[in-house]
Amino acid sequence: MTFFLQSCEFNCSVGKKKEEEIKGAAVVKEGARIYNNIELVSPGLKISKAYLIYEGGGRVPDDNFVDFKKMIKMQVEVDSGWVESNGKVMLGASEKIVAENGTVILEENDLFKKYADGISAADAKYISLSAGVTLKEGAAPTSFIVSFRVWDKNGNGFIEGSYKLYSK
């Protein structure tokens, strides 16, 4: 099976883009509403929501069966816990995509390196990590595990976890 990255895109962003109406099966963990079977831990941080959407804003179904022609975004809303200095927060983020056969499709160690001067504390409340995989034409349906970590470069707080995506 051959895999290609979708336009070599692997994006991250911070800041609230638009209000999403999130409905579906949620697990409430330490006060946070977690959708799409996202597994996460967040010592030192208070999370309000974590969920998956398509890049255009449409909600990923609860079963995580997706069309890989579209970029998938994981959104995490952080209520508090990042260490702020002069109105800025210094974050790092990594993401790794592994196919069901164990092949590492993509691994990025610091997606937020372009924010070397930090980001506003308000923007740090809305973390978005995107990933996309394009299957070779005629490839059998498969699944992928996306692992992620977002950490505070000036504190001990972090968000770490994973979710599984299935091709339609």
β pairing state of 72-80 and 46-54 = antiparallel
pLDDT score recorded for residue 133: 73
pLDDT score recorded for residue 56: 82
d(CA 44, CA 21): 27
Coil, strand or helix at 133: strand
Q: Residue 99 belongs to what domain range?
A: 3-167
CATH number at residue 8: 2.60.40
Asked if the model's pLDDT at residue 27 lies above 80, the reply is no
pLDDT score recorded for residue 71: 87
- Residues 114, 129, 108, 46: what is their CA dihedral angle, to the nearest 10 degrees? 90
Asked if the model's pLDDT at residue 3 lies above 80, the reply is no
Q: What is the mean pLDDT of residues 81-92?
A: 94
The answer to which of 14-23, 41-50, 85-94 has the lowest mean pLDDT is 14-23
What's the pTM? Answer: 0.81
Number of domains making up the chain: 1
The answer to which of 15-19, 67-71, 88-92, 143-147 has the lowest mean pLDDT is 15-19
